[in-house]
Amino acid sequence: MKLLIVESPAKAKKIQSLLGRGWTVRACLGHVRDLPARKEDLPEKHCALPWARLGVNVEDNYAPLYVIREGKHKTIQDLKAAAKGAEQVLLASDPDREGESIAWHLAVLLGLGKEAQRVTYQEITQSALRQAVAHPRPIDYHLVGAQETRRVLDRLAGYGVSPLLWSAVGGNQSAGRVQSAALMLLSQREQSRLAFVPASYWRVTVGVDSCPPFRATVVALRDVPLATAASFTPQGELKPDVQVVQLDAGKAEQLKAYLERQWGVVQAVEVTPVTRKPPAPFTTSTLQQAANARLKLGAATVTKLAQALYENGFITYIRTDSPSLSEEAQTLAREAIQGRFGPTALPEKARQYATRSANAQEAHEAIRPAGKFLIPEDAGLSGDELALYRLIYDRTLASQMRDATGEKTSITLKAGQVTLHASGTRLIEKGFTVLYDDQEADEDEQALPRVQVGESFALRDARAEEKRSSAPARYTEGKFVQLMERAGIGRPSTYGSTLDTLQKRGYVTVRQRQLHVTPLGLLIAGYLMRQVPQLVDTTFTAQMERDLDRIAEGELTRTQYLDGVWKGNLAPAIERAGRTPPRVQVPHLDAVFEVRAGQVQVRAQGRSVPLPEGLLPEDLTEKTLADVLNGTFKGKRIKREASTKGKAPRKTRRTAGSSGKASARKGARSP
């Protein structure tokens, strides 16, 4: 018998059925060793060492102290027994740095030594598995070193900064490296929203009596542009270098009445071709973004659903920065397109896509249907899993279809001294959009007629509408995942867990699918920004990801890197940091949030009172603040929405089981 060790029971069951006789497939249930999470985890001989609780001996080249995770001793005993009787042991944890690290820990615990053999695969299909087990390789110690460096630095930063928060803020606060940088981005957006002063301006539109009719917008009076939202500063004032006409209600009504008695003369017509190329197949990040926008699923839920689909053989590996497809996948996609839409739906050659992420790491394929591209209707799935699989299937096929082509028309008219403008786009060849359209419809989009310069048309049905400039939009989970990827914060596998942690800690909450920072979140972000600015600096975090890539490629040693980033940067900052309770100005009110006796309070008018639970910064108006200060606030408790929509993901008809990595972390208390 040959032994293959994977991470989860669900994956083990599926692979056992595919490999068949001659193989024993067992699960290690995720991570088997880690740095000690509690004092009770320490081996007796290490208890007296001053660095043991930290789990890292900084003075000995950052040597980590690894212990078997709680609840894993029985698993290791069973794996040792299985390995002892096997003619060959293959380690088949996930094909990323974390998986490589798990394989190394298993090799150490099972006594496999440097002869340990590693296999990787992108999809759980019989052909992919047979190819993988036929070509094992040694463990990649550069990848292991990169993962170990990340774990060591996260421990040093977390255990270094979190006690500062315990002293300054109280409670069980945490300052993880990735979550702190993410919290700062959200906090900055929240602060800019709170400080924003909306400006008022008017928009006047009128119907043009052509065939077909369309609506045009007034853009200038006497060749001076009308004010738009872009004309104002965040303080609600006109930008000093902008020359515009700002209408008020009276002038807008006068203009409206004037236009209904006029004819519009066409001054210019511009028709330009439009080509829309299909979006690339999904990466981890783009899948989370699309599932959030289309299916209203949070990042953590998407990760759980996709993991179940992967482990049951429906899709390829879910942690990837790469949008590329193998030649086999391109061929399968093109065959499916031709069978469904005919040969005219295909471009001459298969499309290939390259990553645009500055910190792209994994040399995997995109997320796509596994095996023979099972159509969604035949997959035997239901609920959210079916919806997610269909999204992946459609996106994969669309990526190999023809471009959508059309034309954009812009028309400029004059009515006396009034300039009007209208634009519209129409698709002539729908191309990939018959299957997957990744653009939201513009509310002002309209079909425009063929007109000639000099033609005139009666104007009718003029409308005047007051508009207000808008504060920067809050992030949905999907949009924030996109921002984290662009900023280089974390890796695809961390986006969902980062957002989940911020919500569980009470730093961020979700309302109407948007991320809102709580008063506690603003205080934590403000404290870190003043005391340990490196930790919330996105460029620092992004550079770390690039340096980890260099370690993975053998260009940099872990000791060199950790000496520079820890001893030369973070450790001195932590040493200098104060423990004074933080205070944050409430931008839109004469008030501050502060911490007193471990409680988040609001201070105004010389008094400081506890904030009612669930009250967010944007809920505070002058009246609400007065009620809170006077003890007369009667608002209802505001419940937090879970990023998973409050429901566990629906299972496939096959038992999905539990994710080993997730379940292994349960109960571990770590800053």
Residues tagged active-site: 317
Cβ atoms of 155 and 35 within 8 Å: the answer is: yes
Q: Where are the alpha helices (DSSP H) in 316-449?
A: 327-341, 383-398
Q: What is the dihedral of CA 100, 103, 109, 112, to 10 degrees?
A: -110
CA distances from 364 to 122, 284, 301, 496, 566 (A): 7, 11, 22, 20, 31
Cβ atoms of 545 and 538 within 8 Å: the answer is: no
- Residue 77 CA to residue 465 CA, distance in Å, equals 73
Omega before 612 within 30 of 0, i.e. cis: no
- Residue 166 CA to residue 186 CA, distance in Å, equals 22
- Residue 482 CA to residue 499 CA, distance in Å, equals 13
CA distances from 474 to 285, 483, 514, 517 (A): 19, 12, 6, 10
Cβ atoms of 53 and 42 within 8 Å: the answer is: yes
- Residue 669 CA to residue 36 CA, distance in Å, equals 10
Strands 88-91 and 117-118: parallel
- Residue 475 CA to residue 666 CA, distance in Å, equals 28
* Amino acid sitting at position 72: K
- Residue 133 CA to residue 4 CA, distance in Å, equals 9
- Residue 207 CA to residue 374 CA, distance in Å, equals 50
- Type and span of the H or E element at 117: strand 117-118
- Residue 570 CA to residue 329 CA, distance in Å, equals 45
Residue 565 DSSP one-character state: I
327-341 and 383-398 helices, crossing angle to 10°:
100
The phi, psi pair for 510, rounded to 5°, reads -115, 125
Helix (H, G, I), strand (E, B) or coil at 607: strand
The phi, psi pair for 412, rounded to 5°, reads -110, 130
Cβ atoms of 317 and 403 within 8 Å: the answer is: no
- Residue 438 CA to residue 279 CA, distance in Å, equals 7
Nearest to 263 by CA among 225, 196, 207, 180: 207
- Residue 367 CA to residue 373 CA, distance in Å, equals 12
| 511 C-beta neighbours (distance < 10 Å), count | 14
Nearest to 584 by CA among 631, 503, 515, 529: 529
Cβ atoms of 466 and 202 within 8 Å: the answer is: yes
The phi, psi pair for 473, rounded to 5°, reads -65, 145
